[in-house]
Amino acid sequence: MRALLTHPRWLLVVAGMSTAFVLVLVARRTTNGTDHAATVVDVPRPVTSTPGTTAVLAPRVDAGDALTAIGPSLVATPEAAYDVVFLTVAAAYGRCAPTHAHEFGAMAARARLPVLAGLTSVLGPRTGSRAALLVGIRELAARVPCNGPFDLSIGPFRQRVTIQAYAASFPDSYFEPDLSTAPVAFAGRTLAERASDSCNGVAYAVLPLDAPRAWQCTALRAEARRHIAALCGGSADAAAQQIHDVVTRLPSTCQ
């Protein structure tokens, strides 16, 4: 499977599918900027906080009927939830920043993310189910605020998200949508900069975001990816050996 995901042709397929989904969602939003099938509850709800911290209040964005039915599946199947959050945020990002609409799809391909695999496992091959999903996500994304946190509500499923933080932390935020700060290894680079860097594709091919890991390994692998991306511009033979050395220096449990 990993060999398939690192194949250039497969990379193009993933990029095309991800970008196409996002562009369809952005392009088909309602012309008057409103959507009555999903609602935003503007009254902030109390948020529990620990002593000495400030609670962050956020509006709740409720999905309409087209999405609510899959809410229980999102609770039971995290992989499907990752996809719905990704598609919703990416579509809203494209609405809020139209010139950057393609960046999520491009970065998802660079990082070899399993986009749509989780949803496919829930929806199955039925075309009608996928069409209804697109309608539901489009309706939901039309209501998502461009700035600040919000609570995504799809039936029993809940997820707090901030579009800008999700973008700044992507692709790591695909698996952790509530990340509030970008990984240090990103070195302050924007999503656009990272998505356009082909060396990132090499780094994620060598050390993919393929499974949950202890935070120590997550940090070490992120730093190793940064190092690999810096090496990939050299001669092929030298870079291959140097990249191999970077990986072998990681603890065996993190490789």
Percent of the chain beyond pLDDT 70? 75
Q: Using CA atoms, how far apart are residues 10 and 200, in angstroms rounded to an integer? A: 16
**What is the Cβ-side half-sphere exposure of residue 101, based on CA atoms within 13 angstroms?**
16
For 26-38, write each residue's pLDDT tens digit: 554 433 444 433 4
Asked if 62 and 38 count as a contact pair (C-beta separation under 8 A), the reply is: yes
The confidence score (pLDDT) of residue 14 equals 45
- pLDDT level of residue 191 (50, 70, 90 thresholds): very high
Mean pLDDT of the 69-81 span? 94
* Residue 238 tokens, joined: 């030298």
For 134-151, write each residue's pLDDT tens digit: 889 999 999 999 999 999
Long-range CB pairs of 180-184, under 8 A, 24+ apart, other chains included: 183/219, 183/222, 184/219, 184/222, 184/223
Question: Within 28-55, where are the H helices?
Answer: none
Mean pLDDT of the 197-206 span? 90
Concatenating the DSSP letter of every residue in 69-115 gives TTHHHHHH-HHHHHHHHHHHHHHHHHHHSGGGTTHHHHHHHHTT--T
155: alpha, beta or left, given left = phi > 0 and alpha = psi -120 to 50?
left
Asked if 84 and 66 count as a contact pair (C-beta separation under 8 A), the reply is: no
CA nearest to 26, candidates 98, 85, 91, 84: 91
For 141-185, write each residue's pLDDT tens digit: 999 999 999 999 999 999 999 999 999 999 999 999 998 888 888
The confidence score (pLDDT) of residue 193 equals 94
**CA 219 to each of CA 66, 169, 183, 209, 251: distance values in angstroms, whole numbers, following the listed order:** 38, 13, 8, 12, 12
The confidence score (pLDDT) of residue 255 equals 84
What residues form DSSP beta bridges with 62?
A: 39, 153
Long-range CB pairs of 93-98, under 8 A, 24+ apart, other chains included: 93/163, 93/167, 94/22, 94/23, 94/25, 94/26, 95/26, 95/29, 95/141, 95/142, 95/146, 96/146, 96/163, 98/26
- pLDDT level of residue 5 (50, 70, 90 thresholds): very low
For 37-48, write each residue's pLDDT tens digit: 344 433 333 333
Long-range CB pairs of 169-173, under 8 A, 24+ apart, other chains included: 170/104, 170/107, 171/107, 171/108, 171/110, 171/111, 171/113, 171/204, 171/209, 172/209, 172/222
Concatenating the DSSP letter of every residue in 131-157 gives HHHHHHHHHHHTTS-SSSEEEEEETTE
Would you list the domain boundaries of the chain?
2-186, 197-255
Mean of pLDDT over the chain: 80
